[in-house]
Every structure is written in C-alpha cells, then in structure tokens.
Amino acid sequence: MVTGTLAIYHRLRQWWIRVTAVVSGAILFIAFLLTLTSWFLNPSTEEPQSLIPSGSNLVDLTLIRNADEKGAVCLDGSRPGYHLQRGFGSGSDSWVLHLESGGWCDSADSCSYRQGTPLGSSHYMELQASFVGILSQAPSENPDFYNWNRVKIRYCDGASFSGDTEVQAKSGRKLFFRGQRIWEAIMEELLSEGLGKAKQAFLTGCSAGGLAIYIHCDSFRALMPKEANVKCLGDASFFLDVKDVSGKRTMQSFYKEVVRLQNVGKNLPADCTKRTEPSQCFFPHELIKTIKTPLFILNSAYDYWQIQNVLVPEDSDPRGHWLRCKKNIHNCHPNQIEILQGFRTSLLHTLSEFQHKKDAGMFINSCFVHCQTMSNVTWHSPKSPKINNRTIAEAVGDWYFGRREAIYVDCPYPCNPTCYHRNFN
C-alpha cells in the first residue's frame, strides 16, 4: 500500500504521465475521432463524476502477481489489476465483483491507441478508485451489499476479457490480446484471497464489462463452492444486433472484427459457438440462451451509448440530423422518438423469452442513461429512477435474496418522472 508523501508523489507522477500522453497523442486522437471505431472506444460509459460524492471512499489498486509468467497482460504488456475492499460482519464471507466498462477495439491501430490509456495499460490506471453504487460501503447507498468483500476489476484488453493472441502493430510494438488469461489470473488470485470460500458471490459488470458477465457467468459459477449462492448481473450491456438508421448492421460488423482480431471465438461458450458463428456469440441475445446461472439484466430501453453507436453511429447520419437528439433525448423530434420507440420494442422482443425463465431478474427503465450500478444516484438514492416504486438496488436485492419476483419493465419514454436523463450539452 502507498501512503503519505509517497502516495502524493505517485499521484503527481501518474498525472504527469497522463498529461504527457495526451499532448503527444493529440494529433492521433483527433484523427481517431473521425473514424467509426472511435465511437466504440468511448471510455465515458459510467455516469459523470458529478454524481459521485466527494466523500466517497477510495480503494487502492493491486496489480496481479506473476501476471507476466501467465501471459496475463494488458494490451501493452503491463500487469492487469483490481481494487479490493474487504467485507466485515455478516458480509465477511460474501463477495461482489464488478468488471469495468470501456468499449472494444477492432483494429491494430485502435488497439495501439488504447495502449496509452487506462483501457490498455496499468501504467495509466488510477492508484485509487472511488467505490460507489453497488460497490459503496454506505448502507444508505448500497443496502444489501455494503459490507461484502467488494472488487472492481480493471479492463485493459479491449475484448471483454475474452481474447487470446498477439499481433505486431505498424509501429513495431506488440499488442497483447490476453483478456481470457487476465480473467483466469484475476480469478485465481481472488480465489486465494478468500473468494474460494465464499458463501455468497455476485458477478456484475457494466457495458463491455457487462458483456464479459454474459461470457463468463457459468465459468464463474463453476469456480465457486457448490453450496454458495452465486448469481450474475449485466448492466447496460445487452447490445442489440439491429440495423442502424441507414440500414447497415454496424454493430454486427464491428463485433466480427473484434472477434477475428483478438481470436475470441475459442473462448466463447461452446454451447453457443456450436449453433452459430463466433461473432454472433458476442451478442448477449445468443449467450443468454444457454446461461444456467441465475442472471439479472439491467438496461435502459433508451441506453444513450446504444443510441449513439448502435442505432445512430456517426457514419449513418452524415448530415447530422440526429446530433441534438443523441446529446439530449428531450431534443428528439417526433419522428426520432418513433424510431427510438422501435428500438425499445426490439429490446423487449429480444428479452420476451428470458423474462419467463426461472430465476431471471430484469429491470428495463426508460431513462437516457448508461451504466446504472456504478452511480450512487441511479443505483440507490432519493433521486434514483424507480419502477413500481422500487429503486434498482432494491429490485436487485429482492431478486438476489429471493424476497420477491423482480421483473420490472418501464412504460415508454417520457412517462417516468423519476428518470435521470444524461445531457451531453
């Protein structure tokens, strides 16, 4: 652990590294933003820092031991890491794990860019992380899991913890696509830290981290004691395979390149890859067909990331008719709202069979938002979005502990006055 003056030194050093990287990479970054891929690399998938109270507790970064020997490294070859805060009291034998968000990369160039960011290198990761939302230690903010062992697992591989190969970029630098090995190494280390004796375990994740939940949920269950209560939750990660507003399947094409580049196919659930091509098994609608572990799906029907990148990616709107709508749902004109309602219908249709599955949980609200487990406001607070007078935290807790059924589907936008809507203006 780093303390006192040494901690200040490390923070200043990390700040200087980031500033230097930003200046030196400015030209590359601008060019990068002009490509479609840049939309899928947006690291701002969690809610803004303004929603995180200044008094939130900070938890130190731990880098994986012997990661180099296992080949379990980030895109740049550095060691991956996690933040662990120990549980106490009745939660000492219970664990909640959260996989970080951060998009994907589908080319050597875009993955090379990530090597200079926290999404591709632990050299740029914060030494401490704020634990909020489902990781908060405050009972008022996190009533059911506040005293559990809580872990935030950092994301630095670019393929939802599922790739396993390496390539050489044009720059001559190697790119290590080792997401599967990172997943295995982190699980091995956490098992030795007490996860292997857990009585309750909850695997959660947001966005790209949530997609990893769908991929690894059953394998996580297999690592736990048979008598343990083990469940999974995917937040803002039910990415749809639908046509964008120009008629193209942008997300499908993008995922094909991610799977091909990072050799993901061999690590996807075999039950899925036996019946369809590997890139289709990167979509949750295929993965949930065979997941046996109890699963909770948390999503907005108007998830802003999907609206901005799946439904209306930049190339699909060359004249910018959707720009104001994509920044603030209140700016959408009636024809655009009609298209958004069609997107909602597609989501609900895709989930129609899942919601009748035994042990299923679901919370589909109508807020223009993304990643609701990692914000105190959206997770559980007086200002939280509610369905049937239940916050997300209450609905998830009811489902996890079997207190009541937890299938919540909101009415269409703009009917829910409790919604928090992200405003990019």
Q: Are 374 and 98 in contact (CB under 8 A)?
A: yes
Question: Of 264, 297, 280, 313, nearest to 41 (Cα)?
Answer: 313
3-state secondary structure 182-233: HHHHHHHHHHHCCHHHCCEEEEEEECHHHHHHHHHHHHHHHHCCCCCEEEEE
Quick check: helix, strand or coil at residue 97?
Answer: strand
Continuous segment of H or E residues that includes residue 343: helix 334-350
Q: Does 370 participate in catalysis according to the annotation?
A: yes
**Chain mean position to CA 3:** 30
Question: Of 77, 76, 194, 84, nearest to 128 (Cα)?
Answer: 84
List the catalytic residue out of 207, 237, 300, 375.
Answer: 207
Q: Does 207 participate in catalysis according to the annotation?
A: yes
Q: Does 366 participate in catalysis according to the annotation?
A: no
Q: Are 296 and 233 in contact (CB under 8 A)?
A: yes
List the catalytic residue out of 216, 285, 370, 421.
Answer: 370
Q: In DSSP terms, which residues pair with 81 in a beta bridge?
A: 63
Question: Of 395, 394, 393, nearest to 376 (Cα)?
Answer: 393
Distances (CA, A) of 198 to 70, 209, 255, 373: 25, 22, 35, 22
Counting Cβ atoms within 10 Å, is residue 393 exposed (0-12), middle (13-18) or buried (19+)? buried
Rounded Cα–Cα distance for residues 168 and 171 (Å): 8
List the catalytic residue out of 157, 218, 241, 303.
Answer: 303
CA-based radius of gyration for the chain: 20
Residues forming the active site: 207, 303, 370
